[in-house]
A and B are shown apart, each in its own frame.
Chain A
Amino acid sequence: MDYASGSPVDERVLEEMMPYLSKYFGNPSSLHSYGFKALDAIKNARMRVGSLIGAQPEEIVFTSGATEANNLALIGTAARYKNRGSRIVISNIEHISVLNVCKELSRQGFEIKYAPVDNEGILNLDILKELIDDKTVLVSVMSANGEIGTIQPIKKVAEIAHDRKALFHTDATVAVGKIPLDVNEIGIDLMTLSSNDIYGPKGVGALYIRKGLRLKPLIIGGGQEGGIRSGTENVPGIVGMGKAAELAKVEMNGEAERLTRLRDRLIKGILDSVPESYLNGHPIHRLPNNANIRFSYIEGESLLLSLDELGVYLSSGSACAAKTLEPSHVLLAIGLKHEEAHGSLVFTLGKYNTEEQIDYVIKQMPGVVKRLRDMSPLTPKELM
């Protein structure tokens, strides 16, 4: 139940990719049949990805993944439009690839402002409004958070940004394919997409760039992807992402309903059976596949290891932060104490999870938590 850090590639996606790893090996820039075949495949993928978010094909730029798309969105915009101003406003629960890019931009002289979220992870729009001034070039707020699942009111964020003539970027990595997102309906200028989060291959992503915007490229070379992202295209990967987007568009609604049901069953089951367990994030404005639960007096990693033994695979925070011992910046931002953040587990459900699996986890959880609590020196008194 850790789909957020890595999802399997859908078999239908793999099937469509395979020929581009073998017989259709052409370079899309070549002027012969093999090249044309590859170029057509990319065109088709661009259309499918665009269609998932209501964008025109030419507004989609393929990248090596969501991290590169976030880099391009932030650095490319900041560098290109710095004559408009030097302020960038983001939420304080953005993905590390947005946060760290902003740290770098701040070293380059940009002024970064962080808008806080409330206890359920929803952005404070009043403070956001105050932070966006006339010098603000870009506002970047994720569509939904991968750790606590909270869905942000990005339509309102887009309006606020546009009122101040700032551009609006949203990192939709974990939201695309889970909830409906239409760039025109919401008013998005730039949107980050990932392939692996919609059951496509890893190593591919895309940035939606509204027609008329021109970013400064990060990778310079042969002028592929409209000059925004040079380098011979990852044809099989792009084909895979295209197929994944097509499937997501068709299957999203039914799957979201199914996952929401499983999610709520899991949350209720655990909260009912494990004393002093709490839901992190918003109960309703929440991704269909995300449950984040904290358990007092115990630590997340020992929970993970215990569950691993039982064949349940989870995460205690974002997969990227698992290498450090720092508690999640997202959990601290919603007001949890360090020790509470350490005792939180992230469940991200996916298309191969079943009700039986959910019930198995619910059944195992009380025993696992009790064993670790019996070992823990912490008591309710000490955490007051």
Chain B
Amino acid sequence: MLELFRNPKNVGEIPDADGVGTVGNPVCGDMMTIYIKVKDDKIVDIKFKTFGCGAAIATSSMTTELAKGKTLDEAMKITRGEVADELGGLPPIKMHCSNLAADALHEAIKDYRRKRGEKIEESG
């Protein structure tokens, strides 16, 4: 996990992103934005920006890596637990960081679908 914090992948913005999802709040100490580029229903590019602790940055990196190349439906299924598992587990106090990253990804996908006029199941 420290390695991902040191050298996170996919940091940055996509200026002409097809979908953008922001979750969290700087007041709570964690906030992240995920940008996606979609082609043929697949995530072809993905970037993130994160204000937060080391775990938040590492989980952002891991989430974007997991989502890259996946179809939107597959990416919607990336769960909070999966992100944490990929990182080899997180201490309980840091679990919300992985929640945040998965949530930001899902928000970005919803944003893309909303822009295309698709109906979105609003869940949790």
By a beta-carbon cutoff of 8 Å, the part of chain A in contact with chain B is 297-299, 301-302, 305, 309, 323-325, 327, 337-339, 342, 374-378, 382-383
Contacts and interface: CB of A to CB of B under 8 A. Distances in A.
Main secondary structure of the interface of B (DSSP, over half): mixed
A339 B33 contact: no
Contacts of A382: 26
A377 B11 contact: no
Contact of A297 (B29, B30, B51): B51
Given A302-B5, A309-B6, A323-B93, A378 B52 contact: no
B53 A299 contact: yes
Contacts of A302: 5, 52-54, 56-57
A376 B51 contact: yes
A378 B29 contact: no
- Secondary structure at the A interface, as helix, strand, loop or mixed, is loop
A296 B43 CA distance: 32
A261 to B, nearest CB: 33
Contacts of A339: 26-27, 29, 51
Contacts of A323: 93
Interface in B1-49: 2, 5-6, 8, 11, 22, 26-33, 49
Interface residues of B, number: 23
B5 A342 contact: no
Contacts of A297: 51
B6 A377 contact: no
Given A325-B93, A376-B49, 10 more contacts: A297-B51, A299-B30, A302-B54, A302-B57, A305-B53, A325-B29, A342-B29, A375-B49, A377-B49, A378-B31
Contacts of A342: 26, 29
A370 to B, nearest CB: 13
Contact of A378 (B5, B26, B28): B26
A323 B2 CA distance: 19
Given A338-B27, A342-B26, A383-B26, A375 B50 contact: yes
B31 to A, nearest CB: 6
Contacts of A337: 27
Contacts of B28: 325, 338
